[in-house]
Amino acid sequence: MPLNRDYIGRRYDAEGTFEVGREHIRQFADAIGDPNPIYRDKAAAQAAGHPDVVAPPTFLTTIGMALRGGGPIGDEGLGLNYALVVHGEQHFTHHRPARPGDVLTASTVIEEIRDAGANELMKLRQEIRTTDGEPICDAINVVVSRGTAAGAS
């Protein structure tokens, strides 16, 4: 089943907020096997000029997962089958590193849905900011929906 093209341009404002946690940052750094002390040790982070430990450059992918209820991935009307999804592209532009205690929210726009052979590509543009409105990160996420292009068998 092709994705619902009527959803191009739809904007999703996340329901709820995402608070960046010190232990979550450590857990994420452990999962990527990265021993960098700036993820774990406040003194090391301060020596590098940060007020506190910082999140790894790809950490904010977790906000998309945590706030999925308010985003396109969980929107039934879009018609995305998550088992057919692979990741096409990802891009982050950081205004500053996320830190423990940041309370974040996100808005996501479906910028494009198009066919690529038998697959469909859906481009999502996400703005992540604190609840005070400070911009933290702009992310672009291209999702591949495998084999769902119209006419693909």
Question: Which parts of this chain interact with other proteins (CB under 8 A)?
Answer: 24, 27-28, 30-34, 36, 38-39, 47-50, 54, 56-58, 61-62, 65-66, 82-94, 96-97, 140, 142, 146-147
3-state helix, strand, coil in the chain (%, to 5): 25, 35, 40
- Phi then psi dihedrals of residue 34, to 5 deg: -105, 115
Q: 128 has which bridge partners?
A: 106, 137
Which residue lies nearer to other proteins by CB, 19 or 34? 34
Instruction: Kindly state the smallest distance separating residue 8's Cβ from other proteins, in Å.
Output: 21
Which residue lies nearer to other proteins by CB, 97 or 113? 97
Which residue lies nearer to other proteins by CB, 5 or 50? 50
- Phi then psi dihedrals of residue 79, to 5 deg: 85, 30
